[in-house]
Chain A
Amino acid sequence: MNNKKIKAGITVFPGSNCDADVYRVLNEVFGLSASFIWHKNKIKDLGGYDFIVIPGGFSYGDYLRSGALAARSPVMEYVKDYAYKGGIVLGICNGFQILLEAGLLSGVMLTNDSLKFECKDVYLKTLNTETPFTCALKKDSLLKMPIAHHDGNYFAEKKIIESLNHKNTVIFKYCDENGAITEISNPNGSMYNIAGISNENGNIMGLMPHPERSSEKILGSEDGGYIFQSIIKYIKER
C-alpha cells in the first residue's frame, strides 16, 4: 500500500496552532494524504479517513477549561461517532485535553504543579506496544519529544487509575534519559508520571508531548516519528 493512499484528517478549531505542523509531517515527511477538517465542517461521516488527529494549540483560548469548548463543538460529535466505530484518533496536547473533555478518554488535566507553562524536551517510556500508535516500537523504548503546555497535570480518581493499570492503557510515562520513572522527570505533576493514555479498545490515544515537533532530524529529534510510523504500519497491516 502506497503511503499516499492513507487519508488523515486533522481537526481545526479556532485557536488550534499545531495543525500546520501535523499537516506538514504527515504530508511531507511521511507522504500521506492529510487534510484539514474545519470545526464547522458539515461532513458528518468521517469514515473516509484512515485516522484523525486532533492537534495541539489553545482551542477557544482555553476558556472555561482547556479543551472544554472544543469538545462540545459539532465536529467532535462526528469524531465521537468515528471513534466509537473503532476509528483511530490521536489527540496531541490540547487534542488530549479535548479527548478528555469529550469523554473519549478518562480523567482530566489540571494546571501544572509548577504553575508554569512547561516548554522543554522530555523522555517518554513506552509501556504498551499493542496499539495503533506504538506498534512500530519495542516495549520500554525511550522517546525524546518536546512538551509545551500549562495544563498537563493528569488527574483521575483512584477507580480510573486502577482501570488504566488493569487494562494496560497507560501508554507513555515521563521518565529520565535512562528510562527511570522518577519524580524529577515528571514535568507537570501528572499522576504516576502519565504522559499518554488510550481507551480500552486502544483506538483512541491522548498524548501530551508533541510527536509532530520531533519527526525531523533538523528539529532535534525524530522520535515522535515512531508514533506516525506505527499508525501507518497498523493501517497497512490491518
Chain B
Amino acid sequence: MRNKILTVTTVNEEKMNKKAFIKIMLKDEVLDPQGKAVLSVLKSSGYDNVKDVRVGKYIEVDFAGEVKDGHASLKEEAEEISEKILSNPLIEEFTIEIK
C-alpha cells in the first residue's frame, strides 16, 4: 500500500517538476559595456588571444504544476514569460531549454 502511494507521488513529481533554463543575451548590435570591461581585464591579464566577451543572464524557472491555462506547452509559457518580463525585446534575445 505504502509503496503504491510513493509511486504515485513520484509520477506526479516527474510530471510537475519541469524547469525552464533561459539564457538572455544582449543583441549583437547593442554595445555590452560589461562585456567590454571583462574583455579589457582578460587582455591585461595576458589572455591576448581573446577577441570579444559578451555578458548575459541565465535564469532557471521551476514550474510546480501543469502548464498555465491558454498555453499549449511549458515551452510556450516560458517563451511568454521571457518575452514579457525576463527580457527586454528591444535590446535582448533569449533561448529556452525545458528539462
Residues of A within 8 A of B (CB): 64-65, 68, 72, 101, 107-108, 110-113, 115, 155-157
Decide if A108 touches B90 in the complex (CB within 8 Å).
yes
Question: How many A-B contacts if CB must be within 8 Å?
Answer: 29
Contacts A68-B85, A72-B85 given; does A113 touch B31 at CB 8 Å: yes
Q: How many residues of chain B get a CB closer than 8 Å to chain A's CBs?
A: 11
Let me know if B61 is at the binding interface, CB within 8 A. no
Residues of B within 8 A of A (CB): 30-31, 33-34, 36-37, 85-86, 88, 90-91
Decide if A110 touches B37 in the complex (CB within 8 Å).
no
Decide if A113 touches B33 in the complex (CB within 8 Å).
yes
Decide if A110 touches B33 in the complex (CB within 8 Å).
yes
Decide if B30 touches A157 in the complex (CB within 8 Å).
no
Smallest CB separation, A230 vs chain B (Å) = 29
Smallest CB separation, B93 vs chain A (Å) = 14
Smallest CB separation, A49 vs chain B (Å) = 27
How far is it, in angstroms, between the C-alpha of A58 and the C-alpha of B55 when the chains are bound?
22
The listed residue (A64, A107, A113) touching B90 by CB distance below 8 A is: A107
How far is it, in angstroms, between the C-alpha of A68 and the C-alpha of B88 when the chains are bound?
9
Decide if A156 touches B33 in the complex (CB within 8 Å).
no
**B91: chain A residues within 8 A (beta carbon):** 108, 110, 155
